Amino acid sequence: MVLRLIRKLDLAAGSEPDRPAWLSAASGLVRTTDEFCVVADDELHLGRFTLDQQRPGRLQRIFPGDLPDEPKKRKKRKPDLEVLLRLPASAGLPHGALLALGSGSGAHRRRGALLALGVHGRVVGKPRSIDAAPLFTRLSQSFADLNLEGGWVTGNRLQLLQRGNKGNSRNAVLQWDLQPMLRCLLRERSLPDAEPVNVREFDLGDVQGVPLGFTDASPLPQGGWLFSAVAENTDNALDDGPCLGAAIGRVDARARIRWIRPVDPLYKIEGIDVQQGAQLRAWLVSDADDPRVPASLLQWEC
What CATH code is carried by the domain that includes residue 66? 2.115.10
User: What integer pLDDT is reported at residue 222 of this predicted model?
Assistant: 85
Cα distance between residue 142 and residue 140, in whole Å = 5
CB atoms within 10 A of CB 199: 14
User: What integer pLDDT is reported at residue 159 of this predicted model?
Assistant: 98
State the average pLDDT for the chain: 95
What SS3 class is residue 77?
helix
User: What integer pLDDT is reported at residue 60 of this predicted model?
Assistant: 97
Q: Chunk the chain into consecutive blocks of 10 residues (it has 302) and report each block's average pLDDT, rounded to whole numbers.
A: 96 94 97 95 97 95 94 93 97 96 95 96 96 97 95 96 91 98 97 97 96 97 94 89 95 96 96 87 94 96 84
Contact 11, 287 (CB under 8 A): no
User: What integer pLDDT is reported at residue 221 of this predicted model?
Assistant: 87
User: What integer pLDDT is reported at residue 199 of this predicted model?
Assistant: 97
User: What integer pLDDT is reported at residue 167 of this predicted model?
Assistant: 86
Amino acid at 202: F
Q: Looking at the 3D structure of the chain, how many domains does it have? A: 1
Residue 211, preceding peptide bond in cis (omega within 30° of 0)? no
Structural domain span for residue 108: 4-301
